[in-house]
């Protein structure tokens, strides 16, 4: 009868223990890019505060409503209000804000 040798294993190094061991968490992903956000010394900048308030009021529709307000101000000729709402829209949804800015620039060119 042949003899087989099986080395003893400690429970800490068994394959099951290695699978069940907790892995250290990796670094969190950041989809905002590497540029740090400049915040005034008084805390959160006013546009971000307004964007958060807009989101609290309107939920997922907040960016669309901000876009509507920006367009309404633009067509009323109120440039300051348009820039304000555009900033809020851009804070809530960057791509929507960029599209809105391009469309308003095209409207300005067509109006001339």
> Nearest-CA neighbor of 100 among 92, 89, 109?
89
Mean pLDDT of all residues in the chain? Answer: 81
Rounded CA separation 86/98 (Å): 9
User: Of 5-14, 68-77, 80-89, 94-103, which gets the smallest average pLDDT?
Assistant: 5-14
Token digits of residue 84: 């304000």
Angle of helix 62-76 versus helix 94-111 axis, rounded to 10: 20
Q: Say what percent of the chain tops pLDDT 70.
A: 73
Query: In the chain, what are the domain boundaries?
Result: 44-112
For the chain, the straight-line distance linking the first and the last C-alpha, in angstroms and rounded, comes to 100
């Amino acid at each position: 009868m042949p003899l087989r040798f099986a080395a003893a294993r400690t429970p800490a190094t068994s394959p099951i223990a290695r699978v069940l061991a907790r892995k250290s968490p990796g670094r969190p992903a950041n989809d905002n890019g590497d540029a740090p956000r400049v915040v005034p010394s008084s805390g959160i900048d006013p546009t971000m505060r307004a964007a958060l308030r807009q989101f609290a009021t309107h939920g997922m529709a907040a960016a669309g409503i901000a876009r509507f307000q920006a367009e309404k101000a633009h067509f009323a000729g109120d440039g300051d209000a348009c820039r304000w709402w555009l900033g809020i829209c851009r804070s809530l949804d960057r791509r929507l804000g960029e599209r809105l800015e391009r469309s308003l620039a095209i409207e300005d060119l067509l109006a001339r």
